[in-house]
Structure 1
């Protein structure tokens, strides 16, 4: 795998260089009771803007914007890099991907940002909230888009979806990192991240994440995983708080137009992946009828007693997919025969040695593992695309962290012997250098490894070293001990609730999603809503998979379509319903697009002309 591909992977496992951002002075007004202290207000105009930090589409797609002093980047520089990393981690900005030509655009959108730390009642740690108010805010069609970051990304982690759709339209956009983000705390120097993205030591400033004191050798703590809050259980509350924060900050931005309320300002919720799950959680908790409509893309949504929780099928995938993917039927699958997969035949041998496979030959063992996954609900398309997730070792990276979150463990007591530590330039564990640490907030996708942080532990000295940790993580799901019961209770707390009957709701999911397969997520959720008398719209988009940003990788763009344009289209339909009087459809046929092959993506390939 070449260097650019490796960097793309780390972004997915995961600022203004000229210092143009200016702190605004505005009249002090009441603030929401869940915000402590005054919000930080900055102005972004001229060679700076809300949507791309002045980079434009070409700059977003380019190499990371350098810091003038890598050891001490400024807050505007960090913001610019964070916006760039968030765009590149979500959207296909490659030369053949069609962004800006076949769909989407990145116009300059000047405006203001309001940012604060918000607290869910009972939480140990805050979540970030941010409102972007464009200068062109449409006061005649008051619109507030509320969103949550995908994956475990930082506050700008949904800008390519919610910002790109809402800001040019004149909507304000409210974001939350939903208790995740890249405000890593490094015990080596007892430092975390302040509100402006710069690093500060414990006691020097209010930090995004301040874990209990531990020794300098405790490594790196991650808010999503080590806050003690199980943030996933509160994702919906984070979204609703972000919406309320957005209304309050609009009162500040336009005092002559205040108050902004759900009765005079339509609030549209949208999110992707974990962000999609967050807005569906919010829909089920919205007793105050804040939300006017919801569009969820490839949501990580879990139900009580239905479907399969992510932790269940992800720990299963980590163990079984390396063997199943050695089956000859996957020989032409992208990344299924990449250099990092050479150990996969050993997984078949290990599972046979441990009595999990009975077949005697490698080919028969691979076929048996494949049939095991098929019986568990995995489709061929999901397994094919999951070859990339498996090759990049994402299953283990994600589930090791999520187990810690569900069990509310700190950095020194992660389950199954896992831990995070800074990595030295030679690839060995140690103390991260100052420049690497300074860029964590802007560059990281939220869950290590990557960006100079390593995932350690959970291995043994065998010829299949990761299997021991993966089986330990799986045993937490299957077992009946105290830890297993606590983990399942943590997962149960994340289940979505039923939204109100009249809420317009649209789920858009790629048929080829190999990370959050539709069979385990969107399909049982939509079926549940319909059984309960709701009328959600559902697009299961052919040829779309989970990571639009993977499409520039060899073999991906030729086979798969991006999902973002279908999310934009669903949001367009919701806008037409809310603002133009278009009837909300009772059903909508899924567009039938075609992969681009070796050509550049064109609008006709998306099949959206009649939708």
Structure 2
């Protein structure tokens, strides 16, 4: 990094009209250029329906060159591959650049397989540094309670004559760098500007003991400063204060607005390009090619943006998307609450004897047998013998649309208790619950060695923004509630969460209804890519069901199915998983290649495809390096 500029926050927030000022601004300093951009209006008189930008905290510009860069934060391939995160000089008060570097490291390693032999940077992808400028702001959707973070990276090799923008949304509930391994790694080396949004979630956790949120620079902000997530401080004397998590406690049900978050990020990118390259203006959707891409929740977000009529997006690529069309597939909360109850038992069935992580000790899972016994006591299973109970639970899930491949991969979510964490967070988001009123008595708090809540240390709090995934538990924060003594302690909480789905009149069901997708706009090229073995967001419930229904409704959509691929590339460094599965990221990059060739060069949109891959397996007790032949291209 060698220069900075900052446009301070404004009071009241600045509303950016839809459209772009077409005047030249090359001689203007950043603050005046921003003011001119904010005052701009559409010169062609056209009307756009994407949301106006409401700036909560002014645009912050940082330049990354000479040992730092946009794609790897100066870490390079070796630094990103290191299992040890970049250090803070002072753990209690890291600098903004230390936080950024750590956030980039965290999000790369949370999405991509960077393990030796995994193929990244050799068979597919690139970790070459990309110098350039980075613009960041907090913006708000009209009528929403909380802002979302947007960030645009403009590489030095950006060509104003080519005018390429990649817009993306973070996977899962991650912070704003949560799609850098997909969108950034494809777009930046090609000279595209890349626009990111955290889509209303992120890692700006708040300790409600004082209510201080995270500022634009990633540090705990001073009282009264603009923050990415604001909640009131808890009244003193009420015990240990809970931790507020934006996805769960924003009050906005952000998933219902995913498409508009992406549209705002796209508009923000054009505003930024008007500042970065005023001599090449105007910057409009009509003269700038815009590709939208996302993975997991980010894939669902770009598909929701595909519905909007005037975003200027030219093509969409969605990888392993969490998406549901009305009347097609199943909602995430439906099948995830089902999985939380039934899957621990089902994975003890004989069909999964070869799934090593399902049986860490080589025999039956005691927790699975305990869940089978609970289901029998509830009257949901009729068999008395554990093996027969497990088989009956498996048959129940297969009849509900699960596949053996998805169930085998679902062992990851069972072992990490991920289903319960996801369901508690999403139930709170759908119901718009406050931090003290999460459904089923759940809450988030820092846990001490004895499991009891305690106040966070300064060092713990300082690292939340850079290190967290957006959904606790993790980073010292525990999910509390829904646990009772006995052999099956999480049963009660999971039953309560499932009951919120079964009650058609619940606030949770109303919130889920607001997230249902519709058909992409006519003529918009869309490529959906999904792994056949996805155990977190099964293709039968999500990507495949969405693609089938949308194609039936006339969408210009292609569906790519990848055999022997599951949801978590980042876990493929574990030999038992690397031997069994291929990564999904290469297919996302290939779909982006195809989308770009279609919109920029006029190449035909590729056909539907099924990639017959070849897992690496084991050779001499080790997993051999990935080769292109494994990918089935």
Residue of 266, 269, 273 corresponding to 2:292:
269
8 Å contact kept, 2:169–2:196: yes
Q: How far apart, CA to CA, are the structure 2 residues paired with 1:159 and 1:123?
A: 26
- Count of equivalent residues: 584
Name which of structure 1's ranges 245-254 and 356-365 shifts more when overlaid on structure 2. 356-365
Q: Does 1:326 align with 2:348?
A: yes
SS at match of 1:583: coil
Q: How far apart, CA to CA, are the structure 1 residues paired with 2:451 and 2:99?
A: 25
Residue deviations 1:142-184, cap 9 Å, x none?
1000000000000000000000000000000000000000000
Q: How far apart, CA to CA, are the structure 2 residues paired with 1:160 and 1:102?
A: 15
SS at match of 2:334: helix
Q: For residues 204-215 of structure 1, what are the structure 2 equivalents within 5 Å?
A: 205-215=225-235
8 Å contact kept, 2:208–2:232: no
Partner of 1:235: 258
8 Å contact kept, 2:213–2:221: yes
Name which of structure 1's ranges 189-198 and 172-181 shifts more when overlaid on structure 2. 189-198
| Structure 1 gaps, min length 5 | 1-18
8 Å contact kept, 2:210–2:234: no
Label 1:515 to 1:580 Cα distance change in 2 as closer, same or farther (>3 A). same
TM-score with structure 1 setting the length: 0.93
TM-score with structure 2 setting the length: 0.90
Q: For residues 541-580 of structure 1, what are the structure 2 equivalents within 5 Å?
A: 541-580=562-601
SS at match of 1:429: coil
Q: How far apart, CA to CA, are the structure 2 residues paired with 1:583 and 1:190?
A: 53
Q: For residues 591-610 of structure 1, what are the structure 2 equivalents within 5 Å?
A: 591-597=611-617, 598-608=623-633
Residue of 364, 368, 371 corresponding to 1:344:
368
Q: How far apart, CA to CA, are the structure 2 residues paired with 1:426 and 1:171?
A: 50
8 Å contact kept, 2:409–2:535: yes
Deviation for aligned residue 1:279: 0.2
Deviation for aligned residue 1:335: 1.2
8 Å contact kept, 2:53–2:141: no
Deviation for aligned residue 1:354: 1.6
Partner of 2:63: 43
Partner of 1:28: 33
Indicate the RMSD between aligned Cα atoms, in angstroms. Answer: 1.5
8 Å contact kept, 1:20–1:48: no
Partner of 2:462: 438
Q: Does 1:581 align with 2:602?
A: yes
Partner of 1:82: 103
Residue deviations 1:280-325, cap 9 Å, x none?
000012x114110000000000111221000000000000000011
Q: For residues 66-465 of structure 1, what are the structure 2 equivalents within 5 Å?
A: 66-203=87-224, 205-215=225-235, 217-285=240-308, 287-338=309-360, 341-424=365-448, 427-465=451-489
Q: How far apart, CA to CA, are the structure 1 residues paired with 2:392 and 2:613?
A: 34
Label 1:352 to 1:173 Cα distance change in 2 as closer, same or farther (>3 A). same
SS at match of 1:555: helix
| Structure 2 gaps, min length 5 | 7-28, 39-51, 618-622
Label 1:53 to 1:399 Cα distance change in 2 as closer, same or farther (>3 A). same
Q: How far apart, CA to CA, are the structure 1 residues paired with 2:86 and 2:175?
A: 18
Q: How far apart, CA to CA, are the structure 2 residues paired with 1:215 and 1:425?
A: 26
SS at match of 2:578: coil
SS at match of 1:316: helix
SS at match of 1:36: strand
Deviation for aligned residue 1:343: 1.6
Partner of 2:77: 57
Q: How far apart, CA to CA, are the structure 1 residues paired with 2:356 and 2:462?
A: 35
Extract structure 1 runs of 4+ deviating beyond 6 A: none
SS at match of 1:335: helix
Q: Does 1:469 align with 2:493?
A: yes
Q: How far apart, CA to CA, are the structure 1 residues paired with 2:365 and 2:149?
A: 38
Deviation for aligned residue 1:201: 4.3
Deviation for aligned residue 1:425: 5.2
Q: How far apart, CA to CA, are the structure 1 residues paired with 2:494 and 2:631?
A: 39
8 Å contact kept, 1:424–1:432: no
Q: How far apart, CA to CA, are the structure 1 residues paired with 2:356 and 2:301?
A: 31
Q: How far apart, CA to CA, are the structure 1 residues paired with 2:630 and 2:495?
A: 43
Name which of structure 1's ranges 574-583 and 406-415 shifts more when overlaid on structure 2. 574-583
Q: How far apart, CA to CA, are the structure 1 residues paired with 2:450 and 2:508?
A: 36
8 Å contact kept, 1:183–1:209: yes
8 Å contact kept, 1:23–1:43: no
SS at match of 2:577: coil
8 Å contact kept, 1:334–1:554: no
Partner of 1:511: 532
SS at match of 1:308: coil
